[in-house]
Amino acid sequence: MEFLRKENVRTHSVKKMKVAVTGAGGYIGRHVVEALLELGHEVTAVDFVTEGIDSRAQIADVELFSGASNLYQQMGEPDCVIHMAWKDGFVHNSNAHMDYLSAHYLFIRNLVDAGCKNISVMGTMHEIGFYEGKIDENTPCNPLSQYGIAKNALRQAVLNYTKDKDVNIFWLRAYYILGDDKKNNSIFAKILAAVEEGKKEFPFTTGKNQYDFISVDELAAQIAKASTQTKYTGIINVCSGKPVSLGDRVEQFIRENNLDITLKYGVFPERPYDSKIIYGDNEVIEKIMKL
Ligand SMILES: NC(=O)c1ccc[n+]([C@@H]2O[C@H](COP(=O)([O-])OP(=O)(O)OC[C@H]3O[C@@H](n4cnc5c(N)ncnc54)[C@H](O)[C@@H]3O)[C@@H](O)[C@H]2O)c1
């Protein structure tokens, strides 16, 4: 199905918004809270884990998956909700993805029905599945992991439910993220852990696959800006727009951090559902960052 981006004619950037962030205590969430505060917004943070959330944010003790129809009121009726909470995002075939799918959908549907006007939800390149090249909002999605399948279904359900409703939906599709690496569970975190354990070699794939890498701070700035404008809605890539091989990016990380470790290429095979080259079209996010 071709997805038509809405470029709203009646546009305005709201200067200061009340923004609620779910998953605010997570790897990306903490940076998004800071980015929103830097833009002058008022932030309400929701998470099981509240340690490390910027103290300027207000913590709201809200049970996201309670199914309560007044969740929007419980969150203080924000102008915008950025829904980042997700369990096991780093475990691609965890049962949690499908187990919680309906709860995510019900949460968003309740927000829409309660009158929330701007809702951002985090998407992922894993919605796409095996695909080679640049991804835009019309790229077909054939996800190959439970994580990708659940995110893809959530996007379809949310966009379908809201297509005739007076609400801006921002599906923010993220790619490969680095920075603040001890908290991100990625290859970069694993390399840091290996160095701490005194290892000199790191077993690796061929490193040839090319991905779209972005620093968590830049990503957070994109998420904050995209969620608090109304000119561009729908699927929005939050990304660098530049493909770089995993091997090159990890070598750069090792150099930048002066790590005494060498990559041992070819020990692990690439996962069958990893794309050889996959990166986001950053045309829209570039425009948003200039608003
Ligand atoms: N990290 C990545 O590489 C990446 C890439 C693309 C998309 N994303 C998406 O970005 C979002 C944030 O990812 P992250 O890397 O910060 O993950 P994370 O696991 O560090 O953070 C997720 C947070 O959500 C919270 N949470 C989960 N279920 C909750 C619930 N029911 N109620 C309240 N809090 C709950 C967790 O406590 C956690 O702090 C997720 O939706 C993820 O799918 C992440």
pLDDT band at 6 (very low <50, low <70, confident <90, very high): low
Distance (Å) from CA 237 to ligand 1 centroid: 17
Quote the pLDDT of residue 174.
98
**Is 147 a residue of the active site?**
yes
**What is the mean predicted confidence (pLDDT) over 65-89?**
97
Residue whose CA is at the smallest distance from ligand 1 atom 12: 84
Would you kindly state where each structural domain of the chain is located, as residue ranges? Answer: 18-178+213-241+277-289, 181-210+243-264
Angle at 33 between CA 114 and CA 118, to 5 degrees: 30
In ligand 1, the atom with minimum distance to the C-alpha of 86 is 27
Residue whose CA is at the smallest distance from ligand 1 atom 21: 26
Closest CA to 147 of 161, 126, 129: 126
Q: Which residues of 133-162 are buried (b: 16+ CB within 10 A; e: fewer)?
A: ebbbbebebebbbbbbbbbbbbbebbbebb
Q: Has residue 13 got a pLDDT over 80?
A: no
Contacts of 102 (CB under 8 A, 6+ apart): none
**What is the mean predicted confidence (pLDDT) over 170-185?**
91
* Superfamily for domain range 18-178+213-241+277-289: NAD(P)-binding Rossmann-like Domain (3.40.50.720)
Distance (Å) from CA 107 to ligand 1 centroid: 15
**What's the one-letter identity of residue 111?**
L
Cβ of 214 less than 6 Å from ligand 1 = no
Q: 58 pairs with which residues across the strands?
A: 44
Pairing state between β 133-135 and 118-124: unpaired
- SS3 state at 286: helix
The 10s digit of each residue's pLDDT in 107-119 is 999 999 999 999 9
Residue written as tokens 């975190």? 189
**What is the mean predicted confidence (pLDDT) over 242-248?**
97
pLDDT band at 9 (very low <50, low <70, confident <90, very high): very low
The 10s digit of each residue's pLDDT in 125-161 is 999 999 999 999 999 999 999 999 999 999 999 999 9
pLDDT band at 2 (very low <50, low <70, confident <90, very high): very low
On the CB side of 160, CA atoms within 13 Å amount to 8
In ligand 1, the atom with minimum distance to the C-alpha of 174 is 6
The percent of residues above 90 in pLDDT, for the chain, comes to 89
Spatial distance between the Cα atoms of 144 and 17, rounded to a whole number of angstroms: 37
Catalytic residue among 27, 147, 175, 176: 147
| From 28, 146, 279, mutation site for ligand 1 pocket: most ligand atoms within 8 A of C-beta | 28
Residue whose CA is at the smallest distance from ligand 1 atom 29: 85
